Amino acid sequence: MEVAFAHRLALSYESPCSSLHGHNAIVTVYCCSETLDEAGMVVDFKHIKQLVAGELDHAYINERLDFNPTAENLARWICERVPRCYKVVFQESEGNVAVYVRGGYENAAL
């Protein structure tokens, strides 16, 4: 899914990212289960989109989240919110990608 958002990073060094700026991120969420629900799904994609895009899309996320909104922190936050999620790939911009894998899944197929 694509998410358009604005943020600024709290960094211990001088960086343009400390100023307000925006991204059109591409977020890929990986979920798994040994069984499927009554509809034949692990997690409904619509539900995932509501949990993620519903909170982040077209938002100034520093006002919504209580942590430094790095791509890595955002990937972890998404993984922790989405049921049965074990991995999130957060592409902030071309060439800038963070991958968060929930503990216990480090050897999962990437």
Q: State how many domains the chain has.
A: 1
| Position 110 in a domain | no
Could you tell me if 84 and 37 are in contact, meaning their C-beta atoms sit under 8 angstroms apart? no
Q: What tokens does 88 get?
A: 């999130």
Q: Identify the CATH number of the domain in which residue 30 sits.
A: 3.30.479.10
Cα distance between residue 11 and residue 1, in whole Å = 27
Which pLDDT score is estimated for 51? Answer: 94
- Look up the domain containing 53 and give its range: 2-101
Give Cβ neighbours of residue 108 (< 8 Å, ≥ 6 apart).
30, 32, 86, 87, 101
Query: Does 108 score more than 80 pLDDT?
Result: no
| Position 106 in a domain | no
Q: How far apart are the first and last CA of the chain?
A: 18
Which pLDDT score is estimated for 109? Answer: 53
| Position 108 in a domain | no
Amino acid residing at 22: G
| Position 22 in a domain | yes
Which pLDDT score is estimated for 103? Answer: 82
Q: What is the pLDDT confidence band of residue 46, given thresholds at 50, 70 and 90?
A: very high
Residue range 62-105, pLDDT digits in tens = 999 999 999 999 999 999 999 999 999 999 988 899 999 998 66
Query: Closest by alpha carbon to 72, among 51, 105, 98?
Result: 98
| Position 92 in a domain | yes
